Chain A
Amino acid sequence: MRQSLLAVTAVLSAALAGPAAAQERGGILNFARYDGSNLIDPIYADRNPDIWMVGSLFDTLLRQSPDGSSVVAGLAEAHSVSPDGMTVSLTLREGVAFSDGTAITGEDVVFSLDRARNPDLSPWAGLLGSIDKVTAEGREITLHMKAPDPTILQMLATFTTGIVSKAAFEAAEGATDQEKSAAIFAAGGPGAGSGPFYLCGFEQGTSMEFCANKHYWRKGADGKPLPYLDGVHFEIIPDDATRILKLQAGEVDVAEFIPFSRVPELQADPTIKMNLYPSTRIIYSPINTRETRADGSPNPLADPRVRQALNYATNKEALIGLVLQGAGKPMTSPLMAAATHLAADLDPLYGYDMEKAQALIAEAGIAPGTEVTFTTLAGSADDSTIFAALQQMWAPLGIKLKVEQVDGATRGAKNRSGDFDIHTYGWVNDVNDPSQVTGWLGYTPTANAVGTGWENAKFNDLFEASATEMDVETRAAQYAEMQKIYAEEAPLLFMYETPFAVAVSSAVEGYVQTPLGNNVFEEATVSR
């Protein structure tokens, strides 16, 4: 299965680098989604079904390089950072326009970035907290920084810095920015953004239409403007089995989020390409590291040796076989997916070793029959499988694993209040930089190290220092150190990485889901 992942990586890189020569043009791609968008806006998008569509409607100043490690020109044809890191200069590409043909000006850029970094409006404002002021003179844009920020160029290639039309917002109905944004979304039509498509139909909870932006600046392999498609039609099919049936019946061309148990069957279907796109998605379980549990009783998991023991006693390959039918790989960095920039390769990260696990448990003085509660999502088949497997795997340690099933909102509340022992969780990067996931999983002030209550002064210092470290090598060393500390302390049960499983009809070429999850249609084609 790893081989096929590699193959997909190659396809993905090729697709991002440049399409093949002969391209079919026109047609509508029919796409079955697991959940619908509610508001696609660079700053208000906060759920994946919204975030992952922003790039189709709103273009950014910079773009990810095909391998994701750096940035390349986008709406800005040139960019540079001053040696002290306090000024970022960008030059807007000549002749770029919004989807209704009106020119994109420096004013639109200032408006968009000011909106994106306004903490009263945007939940993502923290990503741009290092910017002091944005100014524009003609096509020259300048970001004046409060402090150097090694992530700033990546942020300018991230959905939340998508450029919106100032004029469209001024003309929109509504008293507040959010009302205006909702009004623009509800009305649809070209003009709000400059992405490869614009929204041209929306039926909440049912369907959505994207139409090709005739003014998009990027060119296809045939020298004419992208996208190749006339549009994309989305249908929301929440049920996994129904979504697959819809593809098999030929009613849609793409069905996303295929359950891994169905992957082998679809791989055998000659009319379907079962794509496993490499992702930054990790599946892990936060472990409560506090001295006492929420109910006041002593917490056996507070001892790092116990957490290490649980990690050694967990056979990740077996879990991957059971849950993902082999379509995944064990985590090799404790803090991020291997595809993330600066990820350390600690393979094997807690390779299965029952003897070591039992020795650690004995050293920690854990009595046989110690009860630990594992909180899972009710109705999730994956979680049930994980629980059943862990219960068996940990039994030789004398750990008596009990299950507690809750829904997503309850699990979130428990994570925040620290009212859990261990629970399942997952993560996909929103930003192509390790700072976001590292802050989430390890830096205490962000979210109590993903609710575990883990606090390590050295780790926190390193994280803070890395936030303004412009020297690439020093920053890489800081990340290596943080990952070492985190692996040693094991505030998580490190599990596995999963690809995005998307089934595509053989008539479709060039559709890509990026490691961040973004749905990219600009170079997709469909032959009817």
Chain B
Amino acid sequence: MDRVQYILKRLLLMIPTFLLVMVIIFVLVRLLPGDPAIAIAGDRASDADLAAIRARLGLNEPMIVQFWLFLTNTLQGDLGQSILMRAPVTEVIAKRLPVTGFLTVYAVALSLLIAGPLAFVAALNRGRWPDTVIRTVFQVGLSMPVFYIGLILLTFLAAQLRWFPVGGYGGSFIEKLYHLFLPAVAVALYTSAIIMRNLRSAIIEVLDAEYVQFARAKGLPDRLILGRHVLRNAMISTVTLLGLSIGNLMSGTLVTETVFAVPGVGRLMLEAIFARDYPLIQGLTLTFAVLVSVVFLLTDLFQSTLDPRMRLT
């Protein structure tokens, strides 16, 4: 199929997906016990105050009317007013999204930097001690919760050695790299463990493949074999894995951003849920849905570029 046509088809398919996401999140937040009016006015507010707030927020309208408003406003790019932040949802998200985006890309880059070389070392030394050491260390990384890793990093590298700041988010690009290093490492330790394991077995698989054996037999230098054949083929499954773990990465930011005091959308989501901030929860969920869909699409496109055998259908 033609690439442009394929992209168009995928984009069209996203419409029913988003509609479904909107319906589900709209219903779900309203099924939660707890009332946004109480979240606004506090536990101490009088019943009259609460009724007034509900009326102001349009929460007394029939559900279907509320949903219609949500839908039509969203189509016009208006996600409503955040109850908690007292500002337009789009504005609030637009401010926080780049922070999480930076952190996520940073964490992915670090994961690849950590996992890539080590996966090669482990695969090339299959069954020998470097392999065992690397795999054991990563197993530990995989089994430790992110908030725990985070606190350990903060305690030693930030509070005691003072190599890094304790939490926060810098101004310039370099400052951001510096401030977000520890949170990115905390996330990357987990992601890189998954990538390393996957990449290692992919490399081993490719190394065992007949065409590589043949290339070796022909006397091609190892560097060329690894670069041209092994890396390229092993990349395919890594990219797929990274694409699929975008959801995990996103949910990981909920914890990481809280521990490291990073003002991103993950922490925002937690705050929104606790405050029953319906518009903000809806807006954030929709944003996550869009991001995940786009990343999935990009993953598929990237895959087909790496591996022409994969057909775009």
List chain A positions with a Cβ less than 8 A from chain B.
38-39, 46-47, 123, 126, 182, 203-206, 235-239, 241-242, 245-246, 248-251, 406-410, 412-416, 440, 446-447
Please tell me if the beta carbons of B33 and A406 are within 8 angstroms of each other in the complex: yes
In the complex, 26 of the A-B residue pairs with CB atoms within 8 angstroms, ordered by the A residue number, are: A38-B86, A39-B86, A46-B40, A123-B42, A204-B263, A205-B268, A206-B169, A235-B261, A236-B263, A239-B259, A242-B151, A242-B261, A245-B155, A245-B166, A246-B159, A249-B162, A249-B166, A251-B165, A407-B274, A408-B34, A409-B33, A409-B35, A409-B39, A409-B276, A410-B32, A447-B46
Q: Given the complex, which residues of B lie within 8 Å of A241, measured CB to CB?
A: 151, 154, 259
Identify the interface centre among A246, A406, A447: most chain B CB within 10 Å of its CB.
A246
- A182 to B32 CA separation, bound complex (whole angstroms): 29
Please tell me if the beta carbons of B154 and A182 are within 8 angstroms of each other in the complex: no
A to B contact number (C-beta, < 8 Å) = 104
Please tell me if the beta carbons of A242 and B260 are within 8 angstroms of each other in the complex: yes
List chain B positions with a Cβ less than 8 A from chain A.
32-35, 38-46, 49, 84-87, 92, 95-96, 151, 154-155, 158-159, 162, 165-169, 258-261, 263, 267-268, 271, 274-276
- A251 to B166 CA separation, bound complex (whole angstroms): 8
Q: Given the complex, which residues of A lie within 8 Å of B268, measured CB to CB?
A: 205
Task: List the B residue with the shortest CB-CB distance to A439.
Answer: B44
- Contact A414/B166 with A205-B263, A238-B267 known, Cβ cut-off 8 Å: no
- A238 to B42 CA separation, bound complex (whole angstroms): 20
Q: Given the complex, which residues of B lie within 8 Å of A412, measured CB to CB?
A: 34-35, 38-39, 43
Please tell me if the beta carbons of B159 and A248 are within 8 angstroms of each other in the complex: yes
Please tell me if the beta carbons of B159 and A245 are within 8 angstroms of each other in the complex: yes
Please tell me if the beta carbons of B33 and A204 are within 8 angstroms of each other in the complex: no
Contact of B44 among A205, A410, A413, A447 (CB under 8 A): A447
Contact of A205 among B32, B38, B40, B267 (CB under 8 A): B267
Contact of A242 among B34, B39, B166, B276 (CB under 8 A): B166
Contact of A38 among B84, B95, B260, B274 (CB under 8 A): B84
- Contact A239/B261 with A205-B267, A245-B154 known, Cβ cut-off 8 Å: yes
Least CB distance from A52 to B in Å reads: 14
Q: Given the complex, which residues of A lie within 8 Å of B86, measured CB to CB?
A: 38-39, 182
- Contact A416/B154 with A39-B86, A182-B86, A251-B165 known, Cβ cut-off 8 Å: no
- A182 to B41 CA separation, bound complex (whole angstroms): 17
Task: List the B residue with the shortest CB-CB distance to A236.
Answer: B261
Q: Given the complex, which residues of A lie within 8 Å of B165, measured CB to CB?
A: 249, 251
Least CB distance from B99 to A in Å reads: 9
Q: Given the complex, which residues of A lie within 8 Å of B263, measured CB to CB?
A: 203-206, 236
Least CB distance from A116 to B in Å reads: 15
Q: Given the complex, which residues of B lie within 8 Å of A414, measured CB to CB?
A: 33
Task: List the A residue with the shortest CB-CB distance to B49.
Answer: A123
- A416 to B43 CA separation, bound complex (whole angstroms): 8
Q: Given the complex, which residues of A lie within 8 Å of B49, measured CB to CB?
A: 123
Q: Given the complex, which residues of B lie within 8 Å of A410, measured CB to CB?
A: 32-34
- A248 to B165 CA separation, bound complex (whole angstroms): 11
Please tell me if the beta carbons of B258 and A238 are within 8 angstroms of each other in the complex: yes
- Contact A440/B95 with A236-B261, A238-B267, A409-B275 known, Cβ cut-off 8 Å: no
Task: List the A residue with the shortest CB-CB distance to B36.
Answer: A409
Please tell me if the beta carbons of A237 and B261 are within 8 angstroms of each other in the complex: yes
Please tell me if the beta carbons of B166 and A415 are within 8 angstroms of each other in the complex: no
Q: Given the complex, which residues of B lie within 8 Å of A237, measured CB to CB?
A: 167, 261
- Contact A440/B34 with A237-B167, A242-B167 known, Cβ cut-off 8 Å: no
Q: Known A-B contacts: A236-B263, A246-B167, A416-B38. Give 11 more (CB < 8 A).
A: A46-B41, A47-B42, A206-B169, A236-B261, A239-B261, A245-B159, A249-B158, A251-B165, A407-B34, A409-B276, A440-B44
Shortest Cβ-Cβ A-B pairs, 9 listed:
A409-B34, A206-B263, A245-B159, A410-B33, A237-B261, A246-B166, A249-B159, A205-B263, A412-B38
Q: Given the complex, which residues of B lie within 8 Å of A249, measured CB to CB?
A: 158-159, 162, 165-166
Q: Given the complex, which residues of B lie within 8 Å of A203, measured CB to CB?
A: 263
Least CB distance from B45 to A in Å reads: 6
- A412 to B42 CA separation, bound complex (whole angstroms): 9
